[in-house]
Structure formats: structure tokens, C-alpha cells
Amino acid sequence: MGPTARIGGLPHGGGGKPRPCRSPAWLYPSSGDAASRATVDRGCIVGFAAGGQKLSSTISYDVRMVEADDVARLARGSVAWANRGPDARASAAIATARSVAQASAAWVDTALGIKAAAGSVSPSVVAEETATGPLATLRLLLVTARALTETAKTGLPLLTRAPERRHVGSSAASIEVDVLPAVGPTGSLHDAAIFSGHRATVRCVDPGGIDAFFRAWREEVFRRPASGGVALVLGAGNVTGLAGADCISQIFEHGRAVFLKLHPLHAPLVPVFREALAPLIEAGLLVLQAGGPDLVASVLAESDVTHVHLTGGRSAFDAIVWGARDHRGAPALGQSITCELGNVTPWLIMPGRYTRRQLVRQADLVVASIVNNTSFNCIATKVVVTARAWHQREEFLRLIHRRLAGVGVRSGWYPGAKAAWESVAERQAPADGTLPWVFQTDVDPLAQPQFVEREWFVPVAAEVALAADSIESLCNEVHDLFMRLPGSLAASVTVPDRLGSRDAARVELFVEHLPFGTVAVNTWSALAYAFASSPWGGYPGSTLADPKSGIGFVHDPLCLPLVHNTIVRAPLAGRLMPAWLPWHPHAATLAGGLLDMYGSMASGGRGMWPLLRLLPTVLRGWE
């Protein structure tokens, strides 16, 4: 038995000889832009945001030396995993889903404790932590298990609708695959009730017709999970479900064992995640630990590590890939890398005539996309784009301001948030640790570039009003504006249902050509991540020198080939209030009920009784 170390105050023992954490110079660049500098000080992460302000976490952790056998054990587990067929992998996904369900209460409680350390939490935060933590992880595992089971039976995952070949304007054809509603191991996930009126279509590059697409898909579902090797997954610190989902993608979609390096903020979750993901740990497919750059460097020094996946910021990406090297030369990183790096997320409101109900609902969705998780999301709306001549613009902006004024302020719990908020808001933050909502209207991107030139991880958003006097000119101006925004992860577009045929066709062409990994019509793009069946990542074409919102996709349990992007479509105003709105009076109850439903499915049930028990609560949200 090796020495026992303490991680986040909890003991961890492991066998094998400890390996010192050696930090190569390239991980701590001594020169260059502040955005690429990172250091670690006595176990507390210290870094620099793109704007240059110092970001320091107040959550400490003990740096543990990597056990010599950790990565070797993962390498052995990866070899054994490669010899297991889709049926066996489906069984592992189900076992993990059951384990996640059993650990869900501890998961949510611990996540709330992390935020409560910086201030009080509200019922809406309980709902958010449930939905983005164990609930999202459970759904991904259920979809993954069903895809693997169907692959074992027929050679391909099950679709609810046959793929279609379509041309968009004069561009090349694409293959469109509908991935909603999704199916779980025992059948329906009841998406017709949960995501009523929503549609998610994955667009894949056409390899030469439907038959060629099916051939490419069959090859992909057998080739990709056989990638093998060991991946270092660098977990994000803003949402507790992200790290687990990244591990699930690496293990089940790529066939890699995973060393998960959790963000220091999530150190208290280490024992919870070890319980929730126990089947993967016992299979030799997962080792997890909280830590900083020293831990990253020591794991990367292991020859068995073949891949890195990062969910984080551009500064972390540059430090790992390039260090102090010139981006025009060879990278410092010797392994392959995939990543999701965030976005200055836009939401365009197409001008037209909206009913009062439609206008209120769309304003609510915009506000919810700002408020969720205190705006510490890579897809929190940061730029709302309108047409200055739109006759309902002022009313729409009043609705946003009124709703924001009614939402209680939240604590700035994410490291560095206070300094970042003060930098962009240009005023001092309250002394009580809260960060007020800021929605700045009529911003000139040239005169106030700070709102559009970088991603602010704070509750601040801006409205940009364009002078276009027609749909055609607006589409052109918006395209130019979007090209200035950093990132290519996701965008939303609100479209009126009373456009003339010519304008409607122009808007559709605009939507289908937006260069984002996910484009959402009439809803927040984050729903695509919640679906767990649509690939999630930046728009294709990123490089190591210019990664934009990232390289590659996660959340692709169907192993679709040649993925281009995903388009999500939703009604302007459904009859039920969306449960993810922060002011929904029963959001926590609904999130807990869905967790019970998915947990029932993981244990072999169909989830009908948990769903029926939710019906009275659902009907209370009828509008």
C-alpha cells in the first residue's frame, strides 16, 4: 500500500510507488500574453483571465503525487475494454447509471455546499444542480446504453426517423439525422412530454448519398470505440456534470480509459464521483483526482497517456498545447487533443410581429440563459442582437429588464468572478459577495468592444441594435457581427411565425449557414447538451493555432459520422412553462422527479410511475 494523501480533506490511498509531480517549463510560460500564464500556489489555483486580471481560488486542496501504477492500470483496463463487445459495454453503462442514481442525493448536496460556501442558495439553484449534475449524467448513460444495445443487435443505433438527404441553397447536400426523441434501454425516455414540440437535427456531411452514409456510420460505430489508449480529461469547474460526461464520452464513444483531473473547486466531489462512477473505476477504466497544473504535468509525462480532452478556457488550452512556444511552430503537447473552450454566445431576435405571449416567453428564455448558474456557463447568452427599427424592440427590452429585476442576485462563487465583473461592469461589486445582473442595451461594438471581444464568466450581457431595414440586410449585418465574436460553440435565433415566404426562406438559409456547432431556433442552445443525443462541440474547422470553441465533439453516443452541426427547433411559446426557468415555482420538484424517472429506467423500469406522479406538478405550470 502506498502512502495515504488527502484530497479536499478526504484520505486517498493507492498502491504503487509515488511519482513526483514534475512541472515542465512549458506549462508555466514566463513570457507572452497574460492569458497563457498559469501557476499554482500552495495548492490554490492562481491564473490570469484573458483581460489580464488575476483569478485566485479560495478553495485549497492538497497536491497528491500520482501513483506510478495509476496510469499503467488504466492502460491495462483500456486493453481489456477493447475486447468487450457492444452488449458488454451497454451493461457497463447501465451499471454506471444505477450507481449515479444511488449517489445523486450526495452529488446534489455536495454541489450545493460548494456554492453555499460563497453565499446562500435558492430552490432554483437546487433545480439547476440536479439537472446539470446527476440528471444529465443519467440521461447520457441511458442513451449510450440503448445505442450500444442496438449496435449489438443490428450494427447501428436505433433512430426514430430515417436520415434524409437535403440541399441547402446552392451548398453541398447534407445528411440530416433526427436525434430527438431519444430512446433508453427500456424504450421511450418520454421526450414527447419533457421536450414537447422540440426537434434536434444533426447535419452530417454527405459522403455520396444515403447508402454511403450508412456505410460510413457502420464503420464509425465500430472504429471509433476501438480507439483505445488512456485519455487525460481536464474537468471544468463551473458545472458538476461536465467532467463525468466527458469521461463517459471518452470511455464509451472512444474506448479510452480515463484519468480525470477535477477542477480544485470540485475537490469535495471526489468521494461522491468515486461512488457514482464506481463501475468504471472497478473495471480499471477511470482514476479521478482533484488538482492543478502540477498534476496535469505529471500525468502527461506518462508514456501510456495518448489523448487529452479539455473543457475549459483558451488560456488553459494554450498553456497545455503551446506553453511558451510560438503558435506557428510545433506544439509542446505530444498527445492528440479534443476540447470545448467556450463562446461569446449570441441570441438574435429576428424582427417581425410577435404576439404578447410569444414576446414574453422569448424574453424569459433570454433572461433564463443569462441567469442560469449565475451566468458561469460557456453558453450563457452574452450578446442579444436586435434590429433598431423593429417596432417591438423597446417592449422586448423592457420585458428583459423587468424579469431580471425580479430575479434575486446570486453570489459570485466562481473564482475570479468579482474582479471580472468589476472590469466589464466598470463599477465596484457589492461587499456582500453578490454580483448584480447587468444587461447593457444599445451597445456599440466599436465603441464598447469589451462586450463582444471576449467571453465574460460573469452575469453580464449586452444588446446590440443593428440599423438594418430589411431581413436581407439584417442577415448580412448579423453574419458580419457574429464573425467578430470569439467562439463557434452555439447561437440562438428567435424567428417570428408570420414572415412572408421570401423572408422566411432567407431566414431559414441564414439559420442553416450559421457557423456554430449548435444553432437553436426559438430556444436556448443549452438544450442540445441536455438532450444527450446530439453531438456537442465547436463548429468544424478549428486548429491547434486557432481552436475557437474547441476541437471535436462530445455527447455523441450514436457515433454519427462526418458531423457538421446540430439545429434545434422549438415553438415560440409552448403551453407549459419550461421547468428550467429559474423562477418556475416547482423546478426543484420536477428535476427531482425526472431524476427518479431515469433512475427507474436504469433499474429496468419504464419510468411511467415517476412520470405520472409528476403530472399534477407539471399541470401547475400550464400557462
pLDDT in tens, 416-435: 999 999 999 999 999 999 99
Distance between CA atoms of 342 and 426, rounded to whole angstroms?
A: 23
Query: pLDDT tier at 326 (50, 70, 90 boundaries)?
Result: confident
**pLDDT recorded at residue 30:** 30
Query: pLDDT tier at 19 (50, 70, 90 boundaries)?
Result: very low
- 181 prior amide bond cis, ω within 30: yes
Q: Per-residue pLDDT for 499 more than 60? A: yes
Q: What percentage of the chain exceeds 70 in pLDDT?
A: 87
**pLDDT recorded at residue 611:** 86
Are residues 517 and 489 in contact, defined by beta-carbon separation less than 8 angstroms? yes
Helices (H), 230-310: 240-248, 254, 270-276, 278-282, 293-300
Q: Per-residue pLDDT for 52 more than 80? A: no
> What SS3 class is residue 518?
strand
Distance between CA atoms of 58 and 575, rounded to whole angstroms?
A: 44
Neighbouring C-beta atoms of residue 160, cutoff 10 Å = 12
Mean pLDDT over the full length of the chain: 88
Which region among 10-14, 254-258, 396-400, 447-451 has the lowest average model confidence (pLDDT)?
A: 10-14
> What SS3 class is residue 383?
strand
Question: What's 437-476 look like in SS3?
Answer: CEEECCCCCCCCHHHCCCCCCCCEEEEEEECCCCHHHHHH
CATH number of 345-486: 3.40.309.10
CB proximity list for 51: less than 8 A, separation 6 or greater? 420, 423, 454
Distance between CA atoms of 17 and 12, rounded to whole angstroms?
A: 14
Are residues 299 and 258 in contact, defined by beta-carbon separation less than 8 angstroms? no
Task: Kindly provide the b/e burial profile for residues 216-251, where b requires at least 16 CB atoms within 10 angstroms of the residue's own CB.
Answer: bbbebbeeebebbbbbbbbbbbbbbbbbbbbbbbbb
What's the Rg (C-alpha) of the chain? 23
**pLDDT recorded at residue 619:** 66
Angle between helices 136-154 and 240-248 (to 10 degrees): 10
Average pLDDT over residues 122-143: 95
pLDDT digits (tens, 9 = 90+) for 269-325: 999 999 999 999 999 999 999 999 999 999 999 999 999 999 999 999 999 999 988
CB proximity list for 274: less than 8 A, separation 6 or greater? 281, 288
Q: Per-residue pLDDT for 616 more than 50? A: yes
Q: Per-residue pLDDT for 3 more than 60? A: no
pLDDT digits (tens, 9 = 90+) for 546-605: 999 999 999 999 999 999 999 999 999 988 899 999 999 999 999 999 999 999 999 999
Q: Which phi-psi region, left, alpha or beta, contains residue 42 (left: φ > 0; alpha: ψ -120 to 50)?
A: left
Residue 5 or 543, more confident? 543
C-alpha grid cell, residue 442? 444599445
Burial status of residue 501 (CB atoms within 10 A of its CB: 0-12, 13-18, 19 or more): exposed
**pLDDT recorded at residue 603:** 95
Measure the CA dihedral 579/97/126/377, to 10°.
Answer: -80
pLDDT digits (tens, 9 = 90+) for 214-249: 999 999 999 999 989 999 999 999 999 999 999 999
Distance between CA atoms of 440 and 68, rounded to whole angstroms?
A: 52
Q: Per-residue pLDDT for 457 more than 70? A: yes
DSSP type of residue 249: I
Q: Per-residue pLDDT for 45 more than 60? A: no
